[in-house]
Every structure is written in C-alpha cells, then in structure tokens.
Amino acid sequence: MSNSKLTSEKTPNWKSEPFKIIEVCKTEAPDGDNKGNWYRYVISQGNEPLIGVRKGSKKSVVEAANQVVMCLNQRRLGKMGRIHLSTRKNGT
C-alpha cells in the first residue's frame, strides 16, 4: 500500500466541503472605535477558519458574511460570472 493512498484516506476532501458561517458574536471595536456595535464572524471550510470583524447590526453583519460565503463557494466551484467583450463597434 502506498503512502499517498494512506494520506488521501486520512485527509478530508476540503474541495467538497462548502464554506459556511460557524460563528457570529459581538466583539470589541478595533482601533478604539467605541461608536456602534462590532461583530466578529468566523467562516470555515474544514479546519481553516476565516475570521472577520464588521460594524453594524447583527443582522447586517450576518447578511454581509453570507454574501462572502456565497462568493467563496461560487469561486470554489468555478461558477464566477463571466463578462463577454466584443471588439465590434456599435452599429457595425
């Protein structure tokens, strides 16, 4: 039995796991900004967390984090929007 087979069996297939929000909690403001509410969010795909902070209501922070998750998952699957450019001038 080869080592590569053992390694692949023990290592989770991170490409098959989608990104997801695993935590949103209130936190202290960075840089001493005491105005408004700040929230820390954690996005994960397997064992690699992405940590961010954002100012706003909990609802707005969750919405923004969900937007990040959606973009990361689209990128992971190769489903980014494409822009098709044309070299023709209008009317020709």
Residues 9-56: tens digit of each pLDDT: 444 555 678 999 999 999 998 887 778 899 999 999 988 899 999 999
Q: Which of 14, 10, 19 is nearest to 71 (CA)?
A: 19
Phi, then psi, of 57 in degrees rounded to 5: -75, 160
Taking the whole predicted model, whether its pTM rises above 0.75 is answered as no
Q: Which residues pair with 45 in a beta bridge?
A: 48
Is 41 exposed, middle or buried, given 0-12, 13-18 or 19+ CB atoms closer than 10 A? buried
DSSP assignment string, 32-45: G--SS-EEEEEEEE
